[in-house]
Amino acid sequence: MEDYLKEALEIVRAQAGVRNMTEEEMTSMLQRLSSGIKNIMGGEELAIEQEPATDPKKAIREKTIICLESGKAFKVITKRHLAKFGLTPDEYREKWGYAKKTPLVCKSLQRERRKKMKEMKLWERRGKNK
């Protein structure tokens, strides 16, 4: 077995000992780490191109948003969920071609939040406090 693969396996094993990980998470992490370590060690990197779970343009739906990393449906994709894949929300948006300010929430929740903010009229309250 190649040295870079052994190193990646050790890292994944240690990570799995600290928290619960699905088989899919372990496999994904192993692939990313082994190719990264191989690249750092100066070996020839094989391009492991990840396929999205669904079309990024169709991932944000009315009642759910599909995580393109895991394929799971959520109302909100949280920082904690993305951390499982070693991504921040900004890195996730960049990786999958979303605009920088695209909220990672389903459309209905986005509408509800917008409506509540308009009802609260925080911009008026801020002006009165001055």
Residue by residue, pLDDT tens for the chain (130 residues) are 567 778 888 888 888 888 887 888 888 888 888 777 777 776 554 445 677 778 889 999 999 999 999 889 999 999 999 999 999 999 999 999 999 999 999 999 999 999 999 999 888 877 666 5
Topology given in CATH for the domain delimited by 52-130: Arc Repressor Mutant, subunit A (1.10.10)
Measured CA to CA, the distance from residue 42 to residue 17 in angstroms comes to 29
Query: Which part of the chain is CATH 1.10.10.1550?
Result: 52-130
Measured CA to CA, the distance from residue 59 to residue 6 in angstroms comes to 35
Tokens of 19: 């928290």
**Contact call for residues 68 and 53 (beta carbons, < 8 A):** yes
Alpha carbons within 13 angstroms on the beta-carbon side of residue 88 total 3
- Tell me which DSSP letter residue 36 carries: H
